[in-house]
Amino acid sequence: MDILTWTYLLVGLSFALYIAIAIWTRAGSTKEFYVAGGGVSPLANGMATAADWMSAASFISMAGLISFAGYDGSVYLMGWTGGYVLLALLLAPYLRKFGKFTVPDFVGDRYYSNKARVVAVICALFISFIYVAGQMRGVGIVFSRYLEIPIEWGVVIGMAIVFFYAVMGGMKGITYTQVAQFCVLIFAYMVPAIFISMQLTGNPIPQLGLGGEVADGTPLLEKLDGVLADLGFSEYTSGRKGMTDMLMITLALMVGTAGLPHVIVRFFTVPKVKDARLSAGYALIFIAILYTTAPAMAAFGIYNVINSTSEKNISELPAWVQNWQKTNLINVDDKNGDGKVQYLADPVANELTIDKDIMVLATPEIAQLPNWVVGLVAAGAMAAALSTAAGLLLVISTSVSRDLVKNFNPEISEKKELQIARLSAAGAVIFAGYFGVNPPGFVAEVVAFAFGLAAASFFPVIILGIFSTRINKEGAIAGMITGLIFTVSYITYFKFINPGINSEDHWWFGISPEGIGSIGMLLNFLVCYFVSKFTPAPPQHVQDLIQEIRIPKGAGEAQDH
């Protein structure tokens, strides 16, 4: 069968599976809609968390970004992996013991203030909308290439699928759908990686193949360094970013991870605090499978791209180039008129432009793997994008229905609350679809902005809310607003208002928009501390509650407060 047939078959089967699970696990109560009834096993929750965490940015964009940035791209790998460790160790067990459904719920109760709750809702919506836009962009790219339809229609189809199982099943449906999506995405990622590692280095383990030797006996990375240097690029294993920016981006991604509302809410779906810790451990293992493979996929991909295109006659370019040209994500321009492709570091002279987001998707075609592998990767990419999109939509709908409507109108019926949650999710799908069609950047870049906003807004108030009894509502509100406004302003200025000066020469202290969330976080911490110091301490019952959360004794089933 050809690629298109395999893609229709595998993507269609995976979609049928997700929809069947959504129908089977349809939420019948608000508790099932928000936290899957609180009865998910640690293993299943670990898989669901991994799928929720490994978005289109992880599956589609991260390896592509590393392919073109080399060493500099490793900040995403280090930041996202380290961030999950931080979340699992510092936050997950304590938040589970607190027993609230959402981050705004935690903020509102911990800081004994509806104003703090509303500010947290605004932050959650801001982060989630930006993050989900990146997922919709990934969905559009997959459909555009493999189903041979415009990106706009690809986004619409993805919106419809996510809307169905996220709105119908809530967290219960999403959780078990994400278990299936994890199995699909990890299998789809590993199969081509193993195939290509065998082709290039003879080693079936991609992580070891990265350090292996190619056919002429030269180590793969050394060969890649030489090829890129010959073309005028920096060596693959060298970096061009300043160390300050590298540190700030890594830090923003790490602490942003620990403040992401759609990941944190997963730890409320298990019965006990002990299960929250165990599911975090499982998720870390599952995440590591993909994250340790991504650097190998990146190196294999760029090596094969250069070998199959550089100095080739344009009329003799391989079929994968022509296939992806139809999506406008690859552009070939014979600038010097010699009929050959010159792949150069100078953007003025470079004749082959490749969108970073297609590298993983195109890699099986570039390596001439069987057509079923190409279709499998398409299904895996869809699973990665849709699983995270669903989790984000739930955060958006819960923030509106529970943290705003229910909180200010406690007499509302459970049926009406569910209706509002589903309508909120529907509105979020439409909003996300618009930004999927008109994205503010490539997938990993868009997601990095969401992490920066999470770092600048949520992380300080969550960590201080758990480990300090002195931080009060005034400090939390001032800190969140300061961090969010500063980070949004910086990103907006350099990315949208004045993109022409978006370079290291013009950034403050050499810190890029992707890394500015670290400064926003530090400002949040400082404002929280100093405002709290000069305003009244929290009530005694709140201080006692914080102490109780931190004490392991009696850490069985969490009670709703």
Local confidence band at 346 (pLDDT 50, 70, 90 cut-offs) = low
Q: Which residue blocks in 36-113 are alpha helix, DSSP H?
A: 42-53, 56, 62-69, 74-86, 92-98, 103-110
Who contacts 191 (Cβ-Cβ below 8 Å, separation ≥6)?
373, 376, 377
SS3 of residue 219 by DSSP = strand
- 68: nearest Cα among 358, 267, 275: 358
Mean pLDDT is lowest, of 301-305, 413-417, 520-524, 545-549, for 413-417
* Sequence-distant (≥ 6) Cβ neighbours of residue 337 within 8 angstroms: none
Q: Which CATH class for the 3-550 domain?
A: mainly alpha
- Compute φ and ψ for 381, nearest 5 degrees: -65, -40
Burial pattern 101-129, b for ≥16 Cβ within 10 A else e, equals bbbbbbbbbbbbbeebbbbbbbbbbbbbb
What is the pLDDT at residue 197?
95
* pLDDT: which is higher, 554 or 83: 83
C-alpha span between 189 and 183 (Å, rounded): 10
Instruction: Answer whether residue 135 shows pLDDT above 90.
Output: no
3-class DSSP assignment, residue 223? helix
Sorted by where each begins, the domain ranges of the chain are 3-550
pLDDT computed for residue 548 by the predictor:
83
* Least confident interval from 7-11, 99-103, 292-296, 490-494: 99-103
Instruction: Please list, in sequence order, all residues whose beta carbon lies within 8 angstroms of the beta carbon of residue 14, skipping any fewer than 6 positions away.
Output: 180, 181, 184, 379, 382, 383
pLDDT, mean of residues 305-309 = 84
Burial 500-523 (b: 16+ CB within 10 A, else e): eeeeeeebeeebbbbbbbbbbbbb
Q: How confident is the model at residue 558 (pLDDT cuts 50, 70, 90)?
A: very low
Structure tokens at 403: 């943290």
Q: What is the pLDDT of residue 440?
A: 59
**Distance (Å, rounded) from C-alpha 70 to C-alpha 295?**
9
Q: Which of 58, 328, 359 is nearest to 181 (CA)?
A: 58
Q: For residues 185 and 182, what is the distance between their CA atoms, to the nearest angstrom?
A: 5
Highest mean pLDDT among 190-204, 368-382, 386-400: 190-204
Task: Specify which of 310-319, 338-347, 406-415, 530-539 reaches the highest per-range mean pLDDT.
Answer: 530-539
Nearest to 436 by CA among 237, 138, 194, 181: 138
Return the SS3 of 313. Answer: strand
Lowest model confidence (mean pLDDT) among 13-22, 131-140, 368-377, 437-446: 437-446
The tally of CA atoms less than 13 A away on the side-chain side of residue 180 is 19
Return the minimum-mean-pLDDT range out of 286-300, 348-362, 463-477, 513-527.
348-362
Q: How far is CA 263 from CA 281, 283, 296, 445, in A?
A: 14, 11, 26, 19
Confidence of residue 555 (pLDDT cuts 50, 70, 90): very low
What value does the mean pLDDT take over residues 239-264? 83
What is the overall mean pLDDT for the chain?
Answer: 82
pLDDT digits (tens, 9 = 90+) for 181-237: 899 999 999 999 999 999 999 999 999 999 898 888 889 999 888 878 776 677 888
Q: What percent of the chain has pLDDT over 70?
A: 90
Considering the entire predicted model, what is its pTM? Answer: 0.81
Q: 318: which 2 tokens?
A: 């391989």
Give the sign of the dihedral formed by CA 76, CA 77, CA 83, CA 84: positive
Q: Give residue 456's identity as a one-letter amino acid code.
A: A
Given a cut of 50, whether residue 561 has pLDDT beyond it is no
Q: Which residue has tokens 């990934």?
A: 138
Q: What is the pLDDT of residues 448-498, one digit of tens each?
A: 788 888 899 989 999 999 999 999 999 999 999 999 999 999 988 888 788
Interior/surface letters 460-485, b for 16+ CB within 10 angstroms, e for the rest: bbbbbbbebbebbbbbbbbbbbbbbe
Strand partners, 272: 557
Indicate left, alpha or beta for 515 from its phi (over 0: left) and psi (-120 to 50: alpha): alpha
277: its two tokens: 């810790």
With a cut of 70, say whether residue 344 has pLDDT above it.
no
Q: What are phi and psi of 164, to 5 degrees?
A: -60, -55
pLDDT-derived band at 560, boundaries 50, 70, 90: very low
Least confident of 65-79, 380-394, 523-537: 380-394
What average pLDDT does this structure show over 168-176? Answer: 69
Query: Alpha-carbon distance 258 to 264, whole Å?
Result: 8
How far apart CA 351 and CA 148 sit, in angstroms, is: 25
- The band of 27, judged by pLDDT with boundaries at 50, 70 and 90, is low
Measure the CA–CA gap between 336 and 410, rounded to whole angstroms.
Answer: 69
Residue 516 has pLDDT above 50, yes or no: yes
Query: In the structure, what pLDDT confidence band is assigned to residue 30 with cuts at 50, 70 and 90?
Result: low
Identify the CA nearest to 126 among candidates 536, 456, 413: 456
Comparing 478 with 404, the larger pLDDT belongs to 478
